[in-house]
Chain A
Amino acid sequence: MTLLTRIAPQLIALAALIALVSLFFPGFLAVDVSGGRLVGPVIDVLKRGAPVALLAVGMTLVIATRGIDLSVGAIMAICGAAAALSISSGLGLVPALLVALAAGAVAGLWNGVLVAVVGIQPFVATLILMTMGRGVAQLITEGRILTFSDPGFAWLGSGVLLGLPVPTWIWILTAAAVGLAVRRTALGLLIESVGVNRRASALAGVNATLLLIAVYVLSGLCAALAGIVETADIRGADANNAGLWLELDAILAVVIGGNSLMGGRFSIVASILGALIIQTIGTGILLAGFPSEYNLVIKAALVLIILVLQSPRIAAEWNLWRESHRVQPRERRRT
């Protein structure tokens, strides 16, 4: 299957959604240039979708191993708080970023060890950090909203590079780097194989334990990046609200991307499109001017429609219908 046929459903969903939003808000696709930067609703989607897109990259791999990572929202809060604290205690930009990334990696390692070594089910294992992580973040910020004024750090959240918002570059580069890393090496195959049948893979010599840990660490790193972007954008670390419920959007993005929760075959590009679909819905509802109390209901309804249209069952029915409407050449099997 080529990449294009794989992501066709997501592309179609996105296009249909854009058409729908444009009905209510005709200027949705308009992009202007002002002061060396592109501005417009689409650019806004590309920027504000950054946290979920980043989380979706890591989540895709976790789900490919038949796992789930519920803790990414909490990890965002921890890493945002760690970065903000480091910056405000005068540590400098690069060390502060490294501290935040390290925090994400450690959090992922914790999850990975619980899942791969201790053998706790991923849902439960990451639930622990989901609950605990926000507490850790509150301890770091001592319950306050930690604000800072470091222009370099703030640039990561609201700066512009070559016309595009910096957060957009961050998710594009992250997704491209991870995508290339798994497809240009054998990692993708090994991850899929562990997701489908860990026992058989281990028997064939695949280091399933290490691979699982690595995948959760990567998810932690992606969450750290998302936390950095969000903290930089609002110039402050809010342990209570940073990344709140975003784990659910990330999982949704992966599912809209057509990746099975039962593990196996995955597509990072499709998950990214899923994240953009979610963000387009969010931005579109705002722009279309619906009262905000409708937001969640409309979002849920749209997501449901997309998922129903993508479901294998509907796809099978659709294929059946198509086949029955066309004279089918009798195929002879190879023997």
Chain B
Amino acid sequence: MLLSIRSLTKVFPGTLALDGVDLDIAAGEIHALLGENGAGKSTLIKCLTGAYQRDGGAITLDGAPIDPKSTGQAQELGIGTVYQEVNLLPNLPVAQNLMFGREPRRFGLIDSRRTRAEAEAMLRQYGLGIDVGRDLGTYSVAIQQIVAIARAVSLSGKVLILDEPTASLDRREVEMVFDVVRDLRDRGLGIIFVSHFLDQVFELTDRVTILRNGRKIVTERTANLDRMSLIEHMLGRALEHEVTGTATDGEIKAPMLQFDGIGRAGVIQPFDLTVGQGEVVGLAGLLGSGRTETAEMLFGLRQSQDGQARDADGPLDLRNPRAAIGAGFGFAPEDRKTDGIVASLSIRENIILGLQARRGWSRPIPRAEQNRLADDYIRKLDIRTSDREKPIGELSGGNQQKAVLARWLAMNPRFLILDEPTRGIDVGAHAEILRLIEDLTAQGMSVLIISSEIDELVAVADRVIVLRDRRHVAELTGAEVTGDRIMRAIAADDEAAA
């Protein structure tokens, strides 16, 4: 075995995050690490990479026991990691990002010509012939992700860990990254792949290990498992109804909000949008097609140059998020780390924050009421935590996402904008959240949902608007809302866009 983990244990105050986990990674295999939100996947990885110190157990690499004290040390030992959020420097050239810290030197100075040449040679191994002199940020997220992989592999070269690396990629980009990963497997690396996308697990991986509540449930060859049994192992129960692409009835909802000519040069071309009461409008499109910008414009986070928003009672003021909230809007942003969570405050405080801001500083929500609200949503959204006073930053990624969602649900807006609401959320909670959206819309709330998962749009949306190159290019209603139609519209198939 390349990497062996035996009875790995990690304790946080009030939480046994890892409870005697065994895991073996062979050279030349891609090994999926699966589990619900809060199962302990990220914790296991952080123990491997030295970001956390384990409380018990042994790790051997190539037969020798290791005990990395920092990510740097783990890299030297041969364990490299790529996280979901690319953690390179977008404002620096690709070459510098790749070679940072070990640039070839001449007379003590960085030899930039050789740095570039070596960077280019490195990326060519990955079939990437890009200009390494350009800033990393000017390339697509997929390319950035591959650069991150290249950097991790060149630094370490034995074990490569990918923690939800495809969460913000579209299908073609996922393929690109997968080709790179398969190639690395064939070169003899041991690869750990963490993801909530089960399709990708079946497509890419050789073996699967499933964690639940910090314990290892099973390790199995991927080919021997089917989707149902995988989910059952993860959740410890069968999933009542998984989200599938059922077309909605397409009944016309009474219009509630009307946006006319909202847009801004260079950001998003002016568009009109009508949202019906209780309607779910989906926004589909590639990364950078203007979906998030559309949402930000509707929520007053970016100013529209022109145009107007109105409801039945007249024009609406959407100057800034506060004004939009006043008009009954809500917006759960895409990037929960920078825009969502207030990390060192408790789960309770994070959930009531929006409600409190709306009530004003002089009318604090009574503590008993805060507790009730927090407990209510912790239960409803199944947020895995030891208690409501835990700092939200200590929750697992998916559970943080749920808590941010809870903040907006607690405010009970009439129009809720959700930007990738289920990113990083496990299959069980995913179904739960989509069901919640259905309940809320049945009670009259309108929802605008942005998602890269087309199945998700098909499942919840009454209407899907497709964006391309910062323009609203197609609108699909009722029976037209199928995965196929959406994909074709996204891919600039004129027939579908017409």
A, B bound: yes
Q: What residues make up the interface of A, taking CB atoms closer than 8 Å to B? A: 184-187, 189-190, 192-193, 196-197, 199-207, 264-265, 330-335
Size of the B side of the interface (Cβ < 8 Å), in residues, is 39
**Residue contact B14 to A192, C-beta cutoff 8 Å:** no
B61 within 8 A of A: no
A residues less than 8 Å from B385 (CB atoms): 334
**Residue contact B357 to A206, C-beta cutoff 8 Å:** yes
A residues less than 8 Å from B362 (CB atoms): 185-186
- How many inter-chain residue pairs (CB < 8 Å) link A and B? 90
A residues less than 8 Å from B357 (CB atoms): 190, 201, 204-207
**Residue contact A196 to B343, C-beta cutoff 8 Å:** yes
B residues less than 8 Å from A186 (CB atoms): 356, 359-365
Q: Within the complex, what minimum Cβ distance (angstroms) separates B314 from chain A?
A: 22
Q: Within the complex, what minimum Cβ distance (angstroms) separates A227 from chain B?
A: 28
A residues less than 8 Å from B387 (CB atoms): 334
Q: A196-B342, A199-B338, A204-B357 are in contact. List 9 more A-B contacts (CB 8 A).
A: A184-B364, A197-B338, A201-B342, A201-B353, A207-B357, A331-B16, A334-B386, A335-B213, A335-B384
B68 within 8 A of A: no
**Residue contact B345 to A264, C-beta cutoff 8 Å:** yes
Q: Which of A184, A204, A333 interacts with B407 by CB under 8 Å?
A: A204
Task: Report B378-411 CB contacts with A as 1/0, cut-off 8 Å.
Answer: 0000001111000000000000000000010000
Q: Within the complex, what minimum Cβ distance (angstroms) separates B367 from chain A?
A: 11
Name which residue of chain A comes closest to B340, CB basis.
A200
B91 within 8 A of A: no
B11 within 8 A of A: yes
**Residue contact A205 to B321, C-beta cutoff 8 Å:** yes
Q: Which of A184, A203, A265, A333 interacts with B321 by CB under 8 Å?
A: A203
B354 within 8 A of A: yes
A335–B340 Cα distance when bound, in Å, is 25
B325 within 8 A of A: yes
A265–B393 Cα distance when bound, in Å, is 14
Q: What residues make up the interface of B, taking CB atoms closer than 8 Å to A? A: 11, 14-17, 213-214, 301, 321-322, 325, 331, 333, 338-345, 349, 353-354, 356-365, 384-387, 407
Name which residue of chain A comes closest to B389, CB basis.
A1
A153–B321 Cα distance when bound, in Å, is 48
B residues less than 8 Å from A201 (CB atoms): 342, 353, 357
A residues less than 8 Å from B339 (CB atoms): 199-200, 203
**Residue contact B16 to A204, C-beta cutoff 8 Å:** no
B residues less than 8 Å from A187 (CB atoms): 361
Task: Say whether, besides A201-B342, A203-B331, A333-B386, A189 and B322 are in contact (CB < 8 Å).
Answer: no
**Residue contact B344 to A264, C-beta cutoff 8 Å:** yes
Name which residue of chain A comes closest to B370, CB basis.
A189
**Residue contact B358 to A333, C-beta cutoff 8 Å:** no
B residues less than 8 Å from A332 (CB atoms): 16
Q: Which of A184, A265, A331 interacts with B344 by CB under 8 Å?
A: A265
Task: Say whether, besides A185-B361, A333-B214, A193 and B349 are in contact (CB < 8 Å).
Answer: yes
Q: Which of A184, A185, A200, A207 interacts with B342 by CB under 8 Å?
A: A200
Q: Within the complex, what minimum Cβ distance (angstroms) separates B344 from chain A?
A: 5
Q: Which of A205, A207, A335 has the most CB of B within 10 A?
A: A205
A189–B14 Cα distance when bound, in Å, is 25
B residues less than 8 Å from A199 (CB atoms): 338-339
A207–B320 Cα distance when bound, in Å, is 10
